[in-house]
Amino acid sequence: MSLSLEHLVGIEGLSADTLSGILDLAGHFKRVNQRKMKKVPALRGVMVVNFFVENSTRTRLSFETAEKRLSADTLNFSASTSSLKKGETLVDTIKNVQAMSPDIVVIRHWAAGAPQLLTRHIDSAVINAGDGWHEHPTQALLDMLTIREHKGSFEGKKVAIIGDITHSRVARSNIYGLTTMGADVHVAGPPTMLPAALEQFDVTAHARVEPAMEAADVIMMLRIQKERLGAALYPNDREYFRFFGLSRERLRLAKDDCIVMHPGPVNRGVELAPEVADGDSNVILQQVANGVAVRMAVLYLVAGGGAVAP
């Protein structure tokens, strides 16, 4: 199958074939990453601007690593050192970035829809590295790659997504991707953190975590989005853990070979008991490693590559 991707602003609307194709290509780049010599010339001469208007550690480092492995030229732009702090509008800043003629812009922004807006103002390919509460498509792809590596396929696999669903772009992107691939997605969290419009998604919602975790193949714990919460939506960390956290006892409800995922950064003792965060079921660092391979695949595709990697 030939695969083409102009931009990657979200997982919503991508077909199962496209998602599988991206994951296959990421698998190829993962093998490249396991070689002694990890650098390939695929993006030589391609300029990538990393435009990060919201804090990020993992995602930014992962994109930069992916770009370097592909031999792209990179330029890093972060909000704290830019004129955005001086009152310039997003569109004006973007136009200045555009004047440098990048081929690809990777954007993280606190405003939902910023990557989409960008596609209308610049000629470069745009990759969404997380926009507000909206989507975080490369995170969902790396999560899906991790699930596929452990479970072989998605069809009928029970995936429990637990926590702050409302404010989580990771949850939204995963829900779109996993339901498209035929997984049986269950969500649970405090009622203040479950979106009212959940019926629009093909998921089963629970007020308690136990039925979501029961016989699960995958448990994906979400971070409490403290920076996005205006008023407190839960009483305190201890109580959150008591009702919604993943303890060793709760993990026993799931299948024996259940994997535990978390997009990071983990709030230890809030979402995950420390012994679960460090336990054998967790695949958190594998998720991080897969992030580089997935981002290499996406960069390669939006740069105009085909289905077959170099």
Contacts with ligand NCD by CB under 6 A lie at: 58-59, 130, 136, 139, 169-170, 223, 263-264
Closest CB to ligand NCD among residues 195, 305 = 195
Q: How far is the CB of 222 from ligand NCD (least distance, A)?
A: 6
| The amino acid at 77 | F
Q: How far is the CB of 130 from ligand NCD (least distance, A)?
A: 5
Closest CB to ligand NCD among residues 229, 253 = 229
Closest CB to ligand NCD among residues 264, 269 = 264
Closest CB to ligand NCD among residues 37, 232 = 232
The verdict on whether 136 is a catalytic residue reads yes
Q: How far is the CB of 223 from ligand NCD (least distance, A)?
A: 3
The verdict on whether 108 is a catalytic residue reads yes
Q: How far is the CB of 132 from ligand NCD (least distance, A)?
A: 9
Q: How far is the CB of 204 from ligand NCD (least distance, A)?
A: 23
The verdict on whether 7 is a catalytic residue reads no
Catalytic residue among 69, 136, 151, 169: 136
Distance CA 246, CA 140 (A): 21
Question: Is 167 exposed, middle or buried, given 0-12, 13-18 or 19+ CB atoms closer than 10 A?
Answer: buried
Catalytic residue among 36, 86, 89, 120: 86
Catalytic residue among 28, 38, 58, 150: 58
Distance CA 171, CA 164 (A): 8
Catalytic residue among 108, 148, 167, 295: 108
The verdict on whether 86 is a catalytic residue reads yes
Closest CB to ligand NCD among residues 158, 223 = 223
Instruction: Cite the active site residues.
Output: 58-59, 86, 108, 136
